[in-house]
Amino acid sequence: MPSENGKTARTAPPEERRKQLIDATIEVIGEAGISGATLPEITRRAGLSMGLANFHFGSKDGLIRAVLISLAEEHRDMWKVQAGRSDLSPAGKIGAIIDAQFHPRICNRRKLAVWFAFFGNPMHRKFYQATATGIDDERMDVVTDLCAVIISDGDFSGVDARDVAATLEGLFDGLWLNILMYPDLFSADGAKAKVVAYLAAIFPAHFGGHQVSG
Amino acid sequence: MPSENGKTARTAPPEERRKQLIDATIEVIGEAGISGATLPEITRRAGLSMGLANFHFGSKDGLIRAVLISLAEEHRDMWKVQAGRSDLSPAGKIGAIIDAQFHPRICNRRKLAVWFAFFGNPMHRKFYQATATGIDDERMDVVTDLCAVIISDGDFSGVDARDVAATLEGLFDGLWLNILMYPDLFSADGAKAKVVAYLAAIFPAHFGGHQVSG
Amino acid sequence: MPSENGKTARTAPPEERRKQLIDATIEVIGEAGISGATLPEITRRAGLSMGLANFHFGSKDGLIRAVLISLAEEHRDMWKVQAGRSDLSPAGKIGAIIDAQFHPRICNRRKLAVWFAFFGNPMHRKFYQATATGIDDERMDVVTDLCAVIISDGDFSGVDARDVAATLEGLFDGLWLNILMYPDLFSADGAKAKVVAYLAAIFPAHFGGHQVSG
Amino acid sequence: MPSENGKTARTAPPEERRKQLIDATIEVIGEAGISGATLPEITRRAGLSMGLANFHFGSKDGLIRAVLISLAEEHRDMWKVQAGRSDLSPAGKIGAIIDAQFHPRICNRRKLAVWFAFFGNPMHRKFYQATATGIDDERMDVVTDLCAVIISDGDFSGVDARDVAATLEGLFDGLWLNILMYPDLFSADGAKAKVVAYLAAIFPAHFGGHQVSG
DNA sequence: CATGAATGAGTCTTCATTCAT
DNA sequence: AATGAATGAAGACTCATTCAT
């Protein structure tokens, strides 16, 4: 039975509370950074008591980790769906992965701020490496394979699939950062266009001239 | 009079003390992040008293700002020298700017960590924008102009100079991040090669096939 | 109905639960002291929920009091049985009381630790005085009377029964403490021997030379 | 220059502040036990800020340890002076050590409460063992040697010096505890008398009949 | 009888900053 | 220019207790 007063129920299943706290944490990190993401502020935002965060996550660190895991999984789910679409050509799949990378659910200021909060702190960077490296590696492998198919199909003797995939990873991250830092100069759509332009220069027959994705 | 015990002199010119403290701060931010860069730790590392940091920089914030300014100026000096070399062609200048971007004095783990510490925190991000945006803008303008010259020289009717410059900015940042995050997969030299490869795909006549800079 | 999973039954008679919780508390106090005897730890050890402790004892304080009462009664039962044995001489009864004092069920590290946990805290000391003083007084009275009989029987004109009883109380406690603090130097058997040696010096005819108890 | 208003100076040599805090801690432990000895309460009592305790002792634990060390050294100094007096016979020295043990500066309710606070907590007990065991051992050795001299002088073939010393240690601690627990029944003077009575029973020629010390 | 979610008070600790010397 | 004692605010965490189920 839902609570009748519109407030959150006084008692709720753990998963609901966890999500509530994770969302509040993302909000706060986005606005105030990891150092500004204090338990008092997070729980105030979530409308819950401070003790509850420790009850559900063991410690503040546990909560922060849960945030990273939640974000990483959301991100992975996003591009993995695209990479698995059997209706797409290799170039189409790469295009779909690019779309996922800059999809509003992933690439918005609040979440970008959280990603770079993790990147910007050595301790969290280590945790990111321990947690999400596999996901990044996997995506790079997938893109590498797709590029290899394109290369073997056409005549791109001088191009190394791994180098292209690595350059794409760099572009993804760098454009994310510039969207975060200079929202007036960089937009998600502009970023997509730039990545596609890069690919069009490398693989003109596959990405040149026509719009790849929607 | 020099101190008789081998420690730093009890009295020293302000500039020397400032540099000492800025260097210690860079070290600490690199190892522990901005949140770990506490005055006790910084001054311990510098071998100076805590009061002195406030004396010379007014506040901790002042010290952090001084670090950013110091880094930004070092970076700007680096690429501006290259951009000003009259002995280089436009493509050569761009190549030299790339070299500057990944020069060991700029692109080492400690300093990259500091850059991304600034990027990762909303408050410091704002300060970065207020302080260093001009520098980034200027570099992007310089690169845009150089690209425009290349474009007007050759026949690259479909290429927009500003887009190329923006893509380069993205690549710079993204490759920096990947060097920081995945040092085993990304190196400064590899990054340079990838940027040049991108330019070679866009401007084959100017960057293709031969080494641009040294 | 017995629980089907091997865990404790979901419903059990209060006395059983109380004993479970008291035992767990003794264990924890023995290992971590009263300050380390937190409800989370006690109930974890007992395999029960935290709410249950409050349900059965009203509050944590109630549980702690129950522990003291349980221990005090166990102790009193022990020596009272000995003091009541009609088959023993006065000296034999005193010997039996000494045996009870250092009996393994009473004088083991875990329980000694609990006793001194109570002695070491003013609040619990007060509660001890309110609860168990009567028991200590009674034992001292019993021993005083026994000594008085011995004195009146023999020729110990200079000896005060009450002083001997008080000295014995001191020896009991002090030897307990030393057994707890220096288990390598002090043992229960050694302690008994020392107490008997003291009595042998005071009442040579009654405790000298032969083993008093078994 | 001393402060003119009777309050403590706003800045003082570390030793003075340390003593201030140690004294306040002893007071508070005496009244509220170790668990009640919170930093807020201790510093309130000392009239100093909470941060200062950590500044001077590193942590609360550091302060507690300093308290134990301070007490142990005071105690040791006390009896060592007596044990070293060349004007006393062996029995006189033992008597003087007994006097030291129950001297008002050592054996008062406040300090006894602190000792038993340490004895009553496993963690602090361990620290006591690591810190003060040597002192206790040394005193027991000294007393053992003194007893051995007495034994070899007279005719006490059945008496073991070490046993007597151990019994004395037990008596010391047990009488301390009873003075703390039952101040109406046990006094320092009464305790001294009981110890001497014990020795008089063991070594009648040396402790019997006359007052040993003052 | 029993659980576990939830709270709020309280503790230790760290830190930026100030100030007297 | 430089130190180090001192403060007060703020944060993470723990815990006894309550309450709905």
Q: CA separation (Å) from B64 to A148, B152, C21, C45, D112?
A: 46, 43, 55, 50, 52
**CATH number of the domain where residue C147 is located:** 1.10.357.10
Rg (CA), chain D: 20
- Touching status, chains C and B (3+ beta-carbon pairs under 8 Å): no
**CA nearest to A22, candidates A126, A114, A117, A123:** A114
Mean predicted confidence (pLDDT) in C193-213: 81
- Is residue B211 one of the residues assigned to a domain? no
Closest partner CB to A113 (pick from B122, B172, B202): B122
pLDDT of residue B137: 94
Residue D65 lies in a domain: no
CA of C119, C1' of F9: distance in angstroms? 38
Determine, yes or no, domain membership for C115: yes
Instruction: Name chain A contacts of B118, Cβ cutoff 8 Å.
Output: 120
Residue B65 lies inside a defined structural domain of this protein: no
A180 shares its domain with A110: yes
Distance in angstroms: CA C50, C1' E7: 15
Assess whether A83 and A120 both reside in one domain.
yes
Which residues in chain C touch residue D176, judged by CB atoms under 8 angstroms apart?
174
Which tokens hold the place of B122?
């909303």
Residue C191 has a pLDDT of 98
C117 CB neighbours in chain D (<8 A) are 120-121
| Tens-digit pLDDT profile for residues A79-100 | 999 999 999 999 999 999 999 9
Identify the residue whose Cα has the smallest distance to the C1' of E7.
A49
Average pLDDT of the residues of chain C: 90
* A11 pLDDT tier (thresholds 50, 70, 90): confident
Per-residue CB contacts under 7 A with strand E, chain D residues 169-208: none
The confidence score (pLDDT) of residue B94 equals: 97
Spatial separation of the C-alpha atoms in residues A37 and B17, rounded to whole Å: 33
Cβ atoms of B56 and B116 within 8 Å: the answer is no
pLDDT, position B9: 53
The whole-angstrom distance between C38's CA and the closest CA on chain D is 12
Contact C119 D118 (CB under 8 A): no
Q: What is the pLDDT of residue A155?
A: 66
Closest listed residue to residue C132, CA positions, set C182, C82, C67: C67
Does B19 map to a domain?
yes
Q: Which amino acid is at A206?
A: H
Q: What is the tens place of the pLDDT at every residue in C150-176?
A: 999 876 668 999 999 999 999 999 999
Q: Are residues C89 and C38 in the same domain?
A: no
Q: What is the DSSP code (8-state) at residue D4?
A: T
Please check whether residue A119 is in contact with residue B116, taking contact to mean a CB–CB distance below 8 angstroms: yes
Is residue A109 included in any domain, yes or no? yes
Q: Does residue B213 have a pLDDT over 90?
A: no
Q: Do C171 and C86 have their domain in common?
A: yes
Strand F nucleotides where any atom sits below 7 Å of a protein CB: 1-21
* D191 in Cβ contact with D179 (< 8 Å): yes
If you measure CA to CA, which chain A residue comes closest to B198?
A: A198
Domain match, A102 and A23 both:
no
pLDDT along chain D (214 residues), means of 10: 44 90 97 96 96 96 97 96 94 97 97 98 95 94 96 82 97 98 95 97 82 41
Residue A136 structural domain? 71-207
Q: Answer yes or no: is pLDDT of C73 > 80.
A: yes
Neighbours of chain D (3+ CB pairs under 8 A): C
The pLDDT tens digits for B107-153 are 999 999 999 999 999 999 999 999 999 999 999 999 999 999 999 98
> Which residues make Cβ contacts (< 8 Å) with residue D43, sequence separation at least 6?
D21, D24, D49, D50, D52, D53
Among A10-14, B74-78, D201-205, the least confident range: A10-14
Report the percentage of chain D scoring pLDDT > 90.
85
Rounded to whole angstroms, the Cα distance separating A54 from A63 reads 8
Q: What whole-number distance in Å separates Cα of residue A124 and Cα of residue A146?
A: 31
The pLDDT assigned to D214 comes to 36
* Claim to verify: residue B36 and residue B120 sit in the same structural domain: no
Which of B68, B136, B169 should we substitute to test contact with A (largest number of A Cβ atoms within 10 Å)?
Answer: B169
Residue C97 tokens, joined? 């009381």
Q: Identify the pLDDT of residue D185.
A: 92
Q: Does B86 reside within a domain? A: yes
Q: Does pLDDT of C1 surpass 90?
A: no
Among candidates D120, D123, D172 on the partner chain, residue whose Cβ is nearest the Cβ of C121: D120
Do chains A and C have 3 or more beta-carbon pairs under 8 angstroms? no
- B67 pLDDT more than 60: yes
Please report, rounded to a whole number, the percentage of residues in chain A having pLDDT higher than 90: 86
Q: Residue C123 and residue A152: Cα distance in Å, rounded?
A: 83
* Shared-domain flag, residues B88 and B49: no
The three state secondary structure string of chain B is CCCCCCCCCCCCCHHHHHHHHHHHHHHHHHHHHHHHCCHHHHHHHHCCCHHHHHHHHCCHHHHHHHHHHHHHHHHHHHHHHHHCCCCCCHHHHHHHHHHHHCCCCCCCHHHHHHHHHHHCCHHHHHHHHHHHHHHHHHHHHHHHHHHHHHHHHCCCCCCCHHHHHHHHHHHHHHHHHHHHHCCCCCCHHHHHHHHHHHHHHHCHHHHCCCCCCC
Element (H or E) spanning A124, and its range? helix A122-153
End-to-end CA distance of chain A: 42
pLDDT value at residue B1:
37
- On the question of pLDDT at B33 being above 70, the answer is yes
Give the pLDDT confidence score for residue A12 in this predicted structure.
Answer: 83
pLDDT in tens, D67-95: 999 999 999 999 999 999 999 999 999 99
Residue B6's pLDDT band (boundaries 50, 70, 90)? very low
Closest partner CB to A170 (pick from B117, B133, B178): B178
Say yes or no: B171 and B105 in one domain. Answer: yes
| Strand E atom within 7 Å of C11 CB | yes
Calpha distance B122→A33 (Å, rounded)? 6
For residue A213, being part of any structural domain is answered with: no
Q: Is the pTM here over 0.85, yes or no? A: yes
Q: Look at residue C205 in the predicted model and tell me its pLDDT.
A: 87
- Distances in Å between the Cα of C21 and the Cα atoms of C17, C37, C47, C114 are 6, 12, 9, 15
Neighbours of C140 (CB within 10 A): 18
pLDDT tens across B35-49, in order?
A: 999 999 999 999 999
Instruction: Indicate whether B30 and B111 sit together in one domain.
Output: no
Distance CA D164, CA D198 (A): 10
Q: How many structural domains comprise chain D?
A: 2
Q: So what's the pLDDT on residue C62?
A: 95
Say if residue B41 is in the same domain as residue B88: no
Name chain A contacts of B193, Cβ cutoff 8 Å: 163
D148 and D123 belong to one structural domain: yes
Looking at residue B36, what is its pLDDT?
95
Task: Inspect the interface and report whether the beta carbons of A178 and B167 lie closer than 8 Å.
Answer: no
Residue C14: pLDDT band (50, 70, 90) is confident
Residues A99 and A203 in one domain: yes
At D35, which CATH number? Answer: 1.10.10.60
Tokens describing residue B63: 């010290």
User: Are A151 and A161 in contact, with CB atoms under 8 Å apart?
Assistant: yes
